Chains A and B, each alone.
Chain A
Amino acid sequence: MMASFPNAGSGGIVRDIAAVIVENRAYLSEIDGKIGDGDHGVNMAKGFGRAAERIAPDASLSDALSTLSDVLMSEIGGSMGPLYGMFFAEMSETVAQDTHIDGARFAAMLRAGLEGIEAVGAAKVGDKTMIDALVPAVEAAEANRSDITAQLREVASAAEAGRDSTTDMVAKLGRAARLGERSRGVPDAGATSCALILRNLCDGAARRLEQG
C-alpha cells in the first residue's frame, strides 16, 4: 500500500462519484420533497451527469474536479450550483500542481473545498445542511494526515455520521426552515448528497492507492 495516489489518471474517481449521484436521483429528490422543493436529486443528477460526459477517460483528479465545478457553476443554478461549484473548484485548485496526493494534501484539498463553500454560503454546523456532513469529514481528514488509508476510512464514516446527525435537526436555512419542528425526522438532502460524494471520493482514492 502506497502513502499517496497519483493525481494523473485519477479523474475516474469523479466519474464514479457522478454515477452514484445519478443512481440516487430519485432517492435525493424523495428526501428533499419531504421538507424542501423536491428537486435536489433532479438538479444534482443533471449537473453530475453532464459533467461525467465531459471528463476525459485519462483526466487527472484536479482536471476532473475542475470540469465538474464548471458544469455546476454554469449550468446548475439555485444554491447547490454555486455551493458544490465552489467546493470542487477549490479542491481542484489545491491539488492542481501535485503529482501525488498524500494524507496531508488530501486534508488540504478538503479544507479548501469547505472554505470555498463558506465563501458563498452562510450555514454553520447544526443548521441541517451539507455542512453537517462536510465539517466532521474535514476534521477527520486533518486528524489522520499521516495515515492516508485510515484517513480515507475515517473521512467517509465521519461524513455519514454527520449526515445521520441531520435527521434529528431542525432546519434553520433554506426552504426546509418553513417547517420548523416538522423538518425533524428526515435527513437533509444536501448532507446526504455530500456524504455520498465523500464516501465515493474516499473509496475511489483507496482503490487508486491499492493500484500504487
Chain B
Amino acid sequence: MQRFLNDPDDIVDETVRGFVRAHADRVRLCDGNARVVVARDAPVSGKVGIVTGGGSGHEPAFVGYTGAGMVDATAIGELFSSPTAKSFHDAIKAADGGAGVVVLYGNYAGDNMNVKMASRMAAKDGVEVLTVVANDDVSSAPPEEREKRRGVAGEIFMWKIGGAKAAEGADAAAVRDAAQGAIDACRSVGVGLAPCTLPAVGHPNFSIEAGTMEMGIGHHGEPGTSVTKLGTADEIASEMTRIVLDDHDLPSGTEVAVLVSGLGATPRGELYVLYDRMARDIEDRGLKIHKAYVGDYFTSLEMVGATLTVMALDDERKRLLAASTDCPAFGAA
C-alpha cells in the first residue's frame, strides 16, 4: 500500500501540527507541550474540565473531539501507544477552570498507568481529578469481567455526554456520573477484514487471511472472538448487531443512539450498507433509533473493518446528546 509519508518517526508531530493549523478556529497547541491539544475556549472558569487522551492512529479520535461542549484538552501518544503521564498532566492543567477535571479515557494498560500517575501529579497541584475508564468492547472479555473490557468507539458518546454535562455547569462528581452512565449504557463490537501497518515498522501488525474476517477485533488488532469465512455485508451487520444486543439486554421500546465507524480504509458507502441492515435488525429487536452516526469516527490506521456502538438513552442523555458541540470531528447534533 502506498502512503503519504515523510520520515515515519515524524508522523505524529506532523499530524498534530496539521490538525491544529486546519482547525485553529477551535483548537490550539498547549504552551510547552506539542503533544497536548486544547480547545480554544479552555479553561473555562468555573466549568469542570474534560480531558482525554490516547495513542495516535485513530484519527479523528482522540484529538478531533477537542472543542467547545466536548473535550477541553487531549493528550496525544505515539501511534497505538499511550501518551506520557506528563502529557496527561499538562492536559489536566490546561483544562482546569477551578472546578476540577474529569479524565475520560479507554481501558488500556498504558493509559491506565499514565492517567494514574498524572492524577497523582495533579493532586499535588491541588487539582481534583476524577476518572472514567471506557470498557464498551463486548468481545474483549465476558460480561462478568467487564472491568477487563477495552474502550472503543463508545468513548465518543462518553465524551459527548460528559462534555455536555460539564458545559451545563454540573459539578465534577455529576459530570463523572453522567460519563460513567453513558459508557455503562454503551456496547460495541468491531470486525476486521484486513490489518494495518505502523509506518516505522513497515509490515502489518497482525494478519487476517484473504477471504476471512475477524469478529470482535480490537482497535489495535487485539484478538477477536472468531475468524470465519468473509460473509456478505448483511450477514456481518446482523452478526455485529446480535453480539452487541445480546450483551446489552435492553427492554423493548428503549431508545438508542447508534454509531457505525469505519476503521480507516472502509468506504463510507459500505458503512451505510452495514447500517441499512443493522438499523432494521435493531428495530426488529423492539428498540427505537433516536439518532444515528455513520462515518469515520474512530479508526485504526488503514485497517479495513467497522465498529458498531449502541448507547441506550434516557431523557438526560437525549438532552446532552442534542446539546451544542463545536469540535472538528463531531458537529452540532
| Interface residues, chain A, with chain B CB atoms under 8 Å away | 29, 33, 37-39, 42-43, 73-79, 81-83, 85-86, 120-122, 173-175, 177-180
Contact = CB atoms under 8 A, between A and B. Distances in A.
Interface of B: 55, 77-78, 80-87, 109-110, 113-114, 116-117, 198, 200-201, 203, 205-206, 220-223
Contacts of A81: 82, 84-85, 110, 114
Nearest to A89: B117
Contacts of A76: 84
B85 A173 contact: no
B113 A175 contact: no
A78 B77 contact: yes
Given A33-B201, A76-B84, A77-B87, A175 B114 contact: no
Contact of A120 (B78, B113, B221): B113
B205 A37 contact: yes
B109 A174 contact: yes
Given A42-B200, A82-B113, A83-B113, 8 more contacts: A37-B81, A37-B220, A73-B85, A73-B86, A77-B114, A79-B110, A81-B110, A82-B117
B85 A74 contact: yes
B81 to A, nearest CB: 4
Given A37-B205, A77-B82, A82 B110 contact: yes
A177 B85 CA distance: 24
Contacts, number: 83
Nearest to A70: B86
A39 B85 contact: no
Nearest to B223: A178
Nearest to A29: B201
Contact of A175 (B77, B83, B222): B222
A175 B87 contact: no
A86 B120 CA distance: 13
A113 B125 CA distance: 25
Nearest to B9: A42
Give the dominant DSSP class at A's interface.
Answer: helix
Contact of A75 (B86, B201, B222, B223): B86
A74 B86 contact: yes
Contacts of B55: 77-78
Contacts of A121: 109, 113
Given A33-B201, A180-B223, A39 B114 contact: no
A177 B223 CA distance: 8
B222 to A, nearest CB: 6
Contact of B78 (A38, A74, A78): A78
B81 A43 contact: yes
B81 A39 contact: yes
Contacts of B221: 175, 178
Contacts of A86: 117
Nearest to B85: A73
Given A77-B110, A78-B77, A121-B113, A38 B201 contact: yes
Contacts of A120: 113, 116-117
Nearest to A73: B85
Nearest to B53: A77
Contacts of A179: 223
A90 B83 CA distance: 22
A39 B201 contact: yes
B81 A78 contact: yes
Pick from A75, A120, A173 the residue with the most CB of B within 10 Å.
A120
Contact of A39 (B113, B117, B198, B222): B198
Contacts of A74: 84-86
B317 to A, nearest CB: 32
A38 B109 contact: no
A189 to B, nearest CB: 13
A37 to B, nearest CB: 6
Contacts of A82: 85, 110, 113-114, 117
A61 B72 CA distance: 40
Contacts of A43: 78, 81
Given A37-B198, A37-B201, A77 B117 contact: no
Contacts of B85: 73-74, 77, 81-82, 85
Contact of A73 (B117, B198, B223): B117
B84 A38 contact: no
B201 A77 contact: no
A121 B110 CA distance: 9
Contacts of A122: 109
Nearest to A122: B109
28 contacts: A38-B198, A38-B201, A39-B81, A43-B81, A73-B84, A74-B86, A77-B55, A77-B77, A77-B82, A77-B83, A77-B85, A77-B114, A78-B55, A78-B77, A78-B78, A78-B82, A81-B84, A82-B85, A82-B110, A82-B114, A85-B85, A85-B117, A120-B117, A175-B222, A177-B222, A178-B223, A179-B223, A180-B223
